[in-house]
Amino acid sequence: MKFLELAKTFDELEAISGRTEITKKLAHLLKTASWQEAAIICYISLGELRPPYEGTQFNLAEKSLIKVVSDLLGYTQEEIKKELAKISDLGQLIGNYNWHPKEDLSIIDVYKELETLENISGGKSQEEKAAVVKKLLKDLDPISAKYVLRIILGKIRIGFSDMTIIDALSWMQEGDKSLRHKLEDAYNRCADIGYIAKILKKDGIEAIEKMGCIVGIPIRPAAAERLPTAEAIVEKLGDCIAQPKLDGFRLQIHVDKTKSKPMVKFFSRNLKDMSDMFPDLVDAVLQLNVETLICEGEAVAYDPNTGQFEPFQITVKRKRKHDIEEMAVDLPLKVFIFDLLYLNGREYLADTHEERRTKLLSIFKSVKDDKIQAIDEVKIKTGQQLLDYFNSMIGQGLEGVVVKRPDAIYTPGKRNFNWIKLKRQEKGHLEDTLDCVVLGYYYGKGKRASFGIGAFLVGIYNDRQDAFETVAKIGTGLKDQEWKELKKKCDSISIGKRPHNVECSKELYPDVWVNPEIVCQIRADEITRSPLHTADKTEKHLGLALRFPRIMGYRSDKSAFDATTAKELTRLFEDQKKK
């Protein structure tokens, strides 16, 4: 398949707003592709060359690409910058011009060139990379060049998630969404969308049904629901168990000692590979008496002098690419393992929590290093017992508790009431903060006019529609410098028009739209019905909005698709009525 066919399809997808139509068009493209091409199409559609857990890093500055474009088009860099300021999209800029391509490159040809580009390193790498990009653009037509530049800049902006690709693969195979459940189940166990497409194209749905966990490929994490009180939780679950809710970051740990060099991988909540960031945990993990292992835990920084846990704002400093060894000394970590998913060739997802817990404890019997521990848990029978345990955890400076059904299986990629979190609650406020996605910002007035930003628009994720829906316009919670920093973040991902996967009433259109990427933590007093906001809006009822919203911080450990969902927001709204 020629790359131009892919680029033309992307152009058509950009102009479509209906998810079903997007799914069908993507399905047609995948159906005509080979299995190698289908895998590449899945990755590139999400702005990657490979699965997100492996990452794609071109490390090529936009100013270098501006020079490439100016040389290619025969304009000065200043002229290109002036035009770029109007549309904020270097890909769209080059796509507006015309030239005769030297070659008619295939998808695989372009993919190999991009891999070559990514692998260039050294003192003169920027110049070498610029030369490779210039040659590649000359060989391509303007539409293809548009998407190649967007891929390099990490701004593909087609506007759908991996779940739309799952649907498209089902449409490709059956002409409807009937295979979605089976494909999603395989993807939840093995979070590599290109690999799923490859197996389906090569070996059919029977092979997909047989897929299990693979050490080294992350499992999409299960998630907890929330309820406002200890009584409500025990009423929902009956006899249950409770574990401390630590204020750190979630890690999925993969171990394979069968290789000549033992492999230890650490994946974040949003499936990013952070293995190089925690050398101090590797030796501790290797003490576990296992051959192969996949488990989940919470990593928390602690003060080596007092042994006390550090707050999340301190712990998160360990997620870095530089000065790793020094930071490991200054901010040592402990990781508390709370679940076992795979051990020595056997998958444990379908086992109950009690069964997984018993097996987990068995591998810690000979472990002496307290850097890695099985998390504590207690059995709960009454609401008062849970409340007492919750208060004791709060008294120790923790976030709260996670309560679990003893007979619950592990459900990868799903949020349900098998797990329920109970967190510290502020009087008169929602029972928890919300994870919202920044969708755009408004120019400032008064003092903030000089900042260029005075408020910003946030939304939640509707996973049924694969779209972002507005829930609040926020103008409080930030200091002067933080407003400037937010504008800088937004400007780096700004786009010229509303993304077609964002639902927003025209009265709320921001002055500057951004690609939905930045996840922030929002506190509000309550959730109300709104004639303007689109969160969970239907023909039968108005949308939902936040009353007195303010930003509490950012969630760099979450992707936009991990944000609070429309379903969660509606349930929180219903819970308010019961108070």
Number of H-type helices and E-type strands within the chain: 21, 21
Q: What is the dihedral of CA 230, 235, 238, 242, to 10 degrees?
A: -20
DSSP 282-299: HHHHHTSS-SEEEEEEEE
Q: Which two tokens stand for residue 32?
A: 């005509």
Nearest CA to 358 out of 339, 335, 334 is that of 339
Q: 3-class SS at 309?
A: strand
Task: Say how far apart CA 217 and CA 267 lie, in whole Å.
Answer: 9
Question: Could you tell me which residues come within 8 angstroms of residue 84 by beta carbon, excluding any fewer than 6 positions away?
Answer: 66, 90, 93
Strand partners, 85: none
- The DSSP call for residue 35 is H
Q: How far does CA 271 lie from the centroid of its chain?
A: 7
Contact predicate 235/380, CB 8 Å: no
Task: Say how far apart CA 46 and CA 48 lie, in whole Å.
Answer: 6
Question: Could you tell me which residues come within 8 angstroms of residue 199 by beta carbon, excluding any fewer than 6 positions away?
Answer: 186, 207, 208, 211
> Residue 298 is which amino acid?
E
Contact predicate 512/490, CB 8 Å: yes
Decide if 245 is catalytic. Answer: yes
For 114, list phi and psi in degrees, rounded to 5.
-70, -35
CA separation (Å) from 323 to 265, 275, 318, 423, 511?
A: 19, 15, 10, 33, 39
Catalytic residue among 129, 245, 371, 421: 245
Q: Mind telling me the catalytic residues?
A: 245
